[in-house]
Amino acid sequence: MIQLALFALAQATTAPSPDDIFRQAQRVWQARVVPGYLSFRIDCENTFLASLCSETDRVEFIVRMSDGRSYARTVAAGAASKVLLRGGYIAGPLDTPLGFYRALPDGSASPLPSLPPNLTADPLQTIATVTASAEVYDVLLAGEEFVGERLCYHLVLHPRIDPDRYPLRALWVEESSFQIVQLTYDRPYDEKHAHALVWYRFAPIGPAAIWTIVHIEADATLREGSSTRTERVVDDLNDINFPASVPDAYFDSELPPAD
């Protein structure tokens, strides 16, 4: 019993602190491989392009990761494809950012006003400002949880300053690798949306095991006069792959809205 108690004490004293877990997770995140292009499919109704397609449409997005410009087209068996976006920037459910964008060269705001500030040179590493310094947050260890089959540290984050600029609220960090398996952030939006709470889940995809978003959830609180209501979106990114090359014409210019 004494030996068991001493072992437990040793484990407790050598376990990383919440701040150390967060910093190590940032280092691992920043080392993730960034592909040249990312392609995936998602229900159109759960994207900002919903007004341009039917309720049953699936949309294929292709993102050029060097600058975040995107191409989107409908995909349906036996139906002609319709191009919805060429060279624009994408958003996810309820206008939540998927993170594939850069700040404008002059340092001004991102092309979509709902997107969080871009704090790094690479668009894949800007998701939910996860690369923000640990000193910005009070980081607490809420416990250990499984996300799928991955045992994770569950970190809860409280911004010490400017919660709109630092919206990250929780991380699930795999204990064995310090990969970020899931994150949550909170963002205010336009006059219609009081705020949205968004979850991203990540997984390694393909032979190269490139970590990318595989699942999105969002709860948006909408203002309606003096009352509010909550809308929820849950969706998976399917048919994820990383094309070796894509025609530059896909990203040349944005298409005008459909009639």
Instruction: Enter the DSSP assignment of 78.
Output: T
Return phi, psi of residue 221, to 5°: -90, 120
pTM: 0.79
Give dist(CA 85, CA 256) in Å, integer: 8
Residue 166 is predicted with a pLDDT of 75
The arrangement of strands across the sheet holding 238-241 comes to: 83-88, 70-75, 58-64, 37-43, 238-241
Q: What is the CATH number of domain 19-247?
A: 2.50.20
Residues 112 and 97 sit within 8 Å (Cβ to Cβ): yes
Residue 23 is predicted with a pLDDT of 87
Q: Give the range among 97-101, 133-137, 236-240 with minimum mean pLDDT.
A: 97-101
Say how many Å lie between the first and final Cα of the chain, rounded: 75
Residue 255 is predicted with a pLDDT of 58
Residue 136 is predicted with a pLDDT of 79
Helix ranges restricted to H, the chain = 2-14, 18-30
Residue 21 is predicted with a pLDDT of 93
Cα–Cα distance list, 234 to 39, 186, 193, 231 (Å): 19, 16, 18, 10
In the chain, where the domains are located: 19-247
Q: Give the range among 33-37, 115-119, 155-159 with minimum mean pLDDT.
A: 115-119
Q: Of the segments 8-12, 37-41, 255-259, which one has the largest average pLDDT value?
A: 37-41
Report, as an integer, the average pLDDT of 172-176. Answer: 96
For 18, the 3-state DSSP assignment is helix
